[in-house]
Homo-oligomer: A and B are copies of this chain.
Amino acid sequence: MKAREVVVAGVGMTRFGFFPERGIREMAAEAIWQALTDAGVKPREIETAYLGYCLGLFNGQECVPGQIVFPPVGIRGIPVTRIESACASGSVAFREAYLGVASGQYDMAVALGLEMMSRAPNTVVRKYMSGGADNELESEMGLTFPGVFGMYARRHMKDFGTTLEHLALVTVKNRGNASLNPRAHFTSPSTVEEVLSSRMVADPLRLLNCCPISDGAAAAVLTTAKKARELGKKGLIRVAASVQNSCVFDEPPDLNTFEGTVRAAEKAYETSGLGPEDIDLAEVHDCFSIAEIMHVEDLGFCKKGEGGFFTAGGHTAITGKIPVSPSGGLLGKGHPLAATGVAQIVEVVEQLRGLSGPRQVPKARVGLTHTVGGFTRGESGTVVVTILKK
């Protein structure tokens, strides 16, 4: 059965940051309305809705959050499905909406990513963020996410000569990009010195090597190419590939490779008939600076081990060979967990439309998004890679 051609007809997002005075309804409504308006679609035309949302308990709405946030904007009576896949939740929600349209089940779908983290006390955030790893075998033993990525960083430095300055330069690039993005959590750029003198979190990762927790919402309207043309849309943005998998680590695991990223990227390239050399920009899951370095390698943008030097050479800058996270990424734009995956789609769509102002990637025609959700030592983590094409 051949999949139908799916396009992103509209996108919208709130600013990312700390908005403890705002509720989940209000944040969601802002993103959804922007996306509907952008698509030129009325709420009642939406046939199915997917919500990525991780930690409802931060806002007391642990169950059926979709039933709470969609009706106020007039999206009623249709299937509303809430997806949780840790930091990849938004990407999985987008992919489920994509599958719904591609398979012919629905002609018009909305995907929303939402997370409000600022209202919860830090201790609560820390406790439940650890729930993204294996609680029984890891988190309870103290193996938290900064700890895991600290070990990745030390291994990469030992095996490939990656330096603390390389790690800092990822942050400097992404904070610089974020300073050009009015919807980013961090509005000020950062320097190598600031990163290297920030508080140590998990050696060698310092505070500015780690993404913040944020509030935010992002939405996308998906439909068929045919329907989009009927709506009078021009310059359609097509979903050229949408791939989801789970990592499988061999024993002993290769600490230098995200096997899930490699495999998802390979399949996305195969599906789309494109290669890493065809990608004009990529939004990559830089939860920690070392993560961007490793994923840039695993996505095929440079050779294994060269990610640090590649970054230092300016190749991932907006003006470089392959601009990585022009939005500012998780390190600069912020990381409201489930909102991130959909916000990456928003950035790529706007870039392909040429609407990104001072952070516009010249002649952008193909963009890639990449998220990783959850992580355990043995095997796991959801990886999602999406390729959008003008």
Contacts and interface: CB of A to CB of B under 8 A. Distances in A.
A198 to B, nearest CB: 27
A4, A85, A139, A376 interface centre (most CB from chain B within 10 Å): A85
A59 interface: yes
Interface string A147-164: 000000000000000000
B80 A246 contact: yes
> Which interface residue of A60, A63, A67, A83 has the most chain B CB atoms within 10 A?
A63
A79 interface: yes
A373 B80 CA distance: 11
Interface string A81-114: 1111110000010001001101111000000000
Interface in A212-226: none
Interface residues of A, number: 59
Nearest to A75: B246
B131 A63 contact: yes
A227 to B, nearest CB: 14
Interface string A48-80: 000000111101111110111011000011111
A77 B131 contact: no
Contacts of A140: 60
A136 interface: yes
A99 to B, nearest CB: 6
A171 interface: no
A128 B373 CA distance: 24
A374 interface: yes
A380 interface: yes
A59 B135 contact: yes
Contacts of A378: 71
A245 B66 CA distance: 12
A132 to B, nearest CB: 4
Number of copies: 2
Contacts of A374: 63-64, 67
Contacts of A373: 63-64
A282 B201 CA distance: 56
Contact of A83 (B57, B68, B81): B81
Nearest to A59: B135
B84 A82 contact: yes
Interface string A296-335: 0000000000000000000000000000000000000000
Interface of A: 1, 4, 23, 54-57, 59-64, 66-68, 70-71, 76-86, 92, 96, 99-100, 102-105, 128, 131-132, 134-136, 139-140, 244-248, 263, 373-374, 376, 378-382
Given A81-B83, A82-B83, 20 more contacts: A1-B4, A56-B131, A57-B128, A57-B131, A60-B140, A61-B135, A62-B132, A63-B84, A63-B85, A63-B132, A63-B374, A64-B376, A64-B381, A67-B246, A71-B380, A77-B247, A79-B245, A82-B84, A99-B99, A99-B105
